[in-house]
Structure 1
Amino acid sequence: MVDIEQLSDVCKLLGDKMRLTILSLLQERELCVNELVELLQTSQPNVSQHMRKLKAGGLVKEAKKGQWVYYSLNVEDKPYLNTFLQYVPSQKEKVAAISCEQLNCCD
């Protein structure tokens, strides 16, 4: 069961347009930082800052594959968040149009 403080913290994370967009993108598949930079049209330090906050809030997890870091959603234990994310506009077409091969990253 979630308590008020935890829910408040999650709501603060979701209140930022960039972080909400990141979660929406990650609903489609795991993504590397370079893919997120391209999709969000922002800088790598900006994406990394948002990812740190989302990771600290327990909403995303990272997996290292060689020198590259891939991010994915971590909401299995947050059913209220799964329900919320059903109402976030799909980013399926944007995510499908980009890949590490295309960006020449994540060998």
Structure 2
Amino acid sequence: MIQTTIEMEEVALILKLLGDNTRLTMMKLIEKQACCVCEFVEIFHVSQPSISQHLRKLKDLGLVREDRKGQWIFYSIDKNNEYYSFIKPILDQLPNQDYKLKELEENGRRISCC
């Protein structure tokens, strides 16, 4: 992994994006596995347009990537993004959020859109 210098404005933008609890939790959730918008709707109990706005902001900076599977889009962290080496230590410090996806599975709501 090549370490690049990040400009102060870019750092401020990344920290601002990750300063939102929903976006920060999303990033931790997709650190290990991809998630669909419908799963985020279930986890955060907010509307699909709201989730899509959060994802768009993360995607615009290249922090997340989309993978289409049929008509569904799954989101994951873009580990090839130039900012990944900056955000990885932040994500490493966060508490594990896998239990949220496990709860969806147990309730039969994991990937309910598919």
- TM normalised by structure 1 equals 0.88
User: In terms of mean alpha carbon deviation, does 83-92 or 1-10 score higher?
Assistant: 1-10
Stretches of structure 2 lacking an aligned partner (at least 5 in a row): none
Q: CA deviation at 1:64?
A: 0.8
Task: Please report the RMSD computed on the Cα atoms of aligned residues, expressed in angstroms.
Answer: 1.4
- TM normalised by structure 2 equals 0.83
The 4+ residue runs of structure 1 with deviation greater than 4 A are: none
Deviations 1:54-94 (A, max 9, x none): 10011111111111000001144421211111111110111
1:1-107 → structure 2 map (5 Å cutoff): 1=4, 2-76=6-80, 77=82, 78-99=84-105, 102-103=108-109, 104-106=112-114
CA distance in 2 between counterparts of 1:75 and 1:97 reads 26
Aligned length: 104
CA distance in 1 between counterparts of 2:37 and 2:23 reads 13
Q: CA deviation at 1:96?
A: 2.2
